[in-house]
Structure 1
Amino acid sequence: MKRVIIQSCLNICMYFLAAIFISSIHDQLNVFQNDPVKGTGFNLTLDLSIILPVILVAIGLSVTGYWMRTDKKSSFSKWSSSTTEFSDQDEREEAITGKATRAAYVTFLITLPALMICFLFDVPLMSIFPNFSFYAIALVLTAGTLSYMAAWVYHYQR
């Protein structure tokens, strides 16, 4: 249970750090075409204070996931190419994972149409919050991850 909670929390951190990183790229990206001075291309300046937390959380997610893996005999390359949060040790854990996955799926079915409704008003939202779409996607992923984690913990404790 501890493995699912820690990995879910780190995944949620990663979603929002990725949204911050991508919105930073969106803000800094300067595309120019047929400029007499600059020519054609793009200019991108990235801030290290945004890149560093993304890298650190990604490393933390990988290290904790590897240490907390259920199959201690698997190598890092085998472990890193599989989905660790869906690994099942026994039939009970397999059933819990199935129920938690269904809960996350239902959450996605609810939050995605709600997000589509929000995108109906994207012009006013984009004028107020220009990077709304990146954070909206992070919120949908967070809702699914939280519902997966909550359902997993609930069914594990039963």
Structure 2
Amino acid sequence: MKRVIIQSCLNICMYFLAAFFISSIHDQLQLFQNDPVSGTGFNLTLDLSIILPILLVAIGLSITGYWMRTDKKTSFSKWSSSTTEFSDQDEREEVITGKATRTSYVTFLITLPVLMISFLFYAPLMATFPNFPFYAIALVLTAGTLSYMTAWVYYYQK
């Protein structure tokens, strides 16, 4: 249970850090395209304060996931190429994972239409919050991950 909670929380951190990273790239590219002095070349500057948290969370996610893996006999290369949150140790965990996955799927089916409705107001949102699409996608992923984690913990304790 602790493994699912920690990995889910770190995944949520990664969603928003990735949204922040991509939005910073979007801001730079948008400013550069509107600048007639700079010409038509490609210029991108990445700030270490943006990349460093992403690297730290990614390393933390890898290390904690490897230490908390259910099958202690697998090597790091085999473990890192599989989906660890869906690894099942026994039949009970298979059932719990299946129920949590269904819950997450239903959450996606609800949050995606809500996101589509919010895009009706795309022009006003883009005027005040130009990076809205990146954070909207991060919110949908977060909703799915939170519902998976909550359902997993609920069915595990049941």
Gaps of 5+ in 1: none
Residue 84 (structure 2) aligns with: 84
Post-superposition shift, 1:28?
A: 1.4
CA distance in 2, matches of 1:38, 1:124: 29
Q: Contact conserved, 1:104 with 1:145, CA < 8 A, in 2?
A: yes
CA distance in 2, matches of 1:2, 1:109: 27
Post-superposition shift, 1:41?
A: 2.2
Is it true that 1:157 corresponds to 2:157 in the alignment? yes
Is it true that 1:6 corresponds to 2:42 in the alignment? no
Q: Contact conserved, 1:100 with 1:147, CA < 8 A, in 2?
A: yes
CA distance in 1, matches of 2:132, 2:45: 21
**Matched residue SS, 2:42:** strand
After superposition, residues 1-158 of structure 1 pair within 5 angstroms as 1-29=1-29, 30-31=32-33, 38-158=38-158
Post-superposition shift, 1:38?
A: 4.9
CA distance in 2, matches of 1:39, 1:127: 25
Which stretch of structure 1 is more off in the superposition, 39-48 or 121-130?
39-48
After TM superposition, the score normalised by the length of structure 2 is: 0.95
2:11 alignment partner AA: N
Post-superposition shift, 1:32?
A: 7.4
Structure that is richer in strand per residue:
1
Q: Say what the alpha-carbon RMSD is for the aligned residues.
A: 1.4
Higher relative CO (CA 8 A, sep ≥ 6), structure 1 or 2? 2
Gaps of 5+ in 2: none
Q: Which runs of 4+ in 1 moved over 3 A?
A: 37-40
CA distance in 2, matches of 1:90, 1:74: 16
Q: Contact conserved, 1:31 with 1:43, CA < 8 A, in 2?
A: no
Count of matched residue positions in the alignment of Structure 1 and Structure 2: 156
CA distance in 2, matches of 1:53, 1:13: 10
CA distance in 1, matches of 2:156, 2:136: 30
Identity %: 85
Post-superposition shift, 1:45?
A: 1.2
1:23 alignment partner AA: S
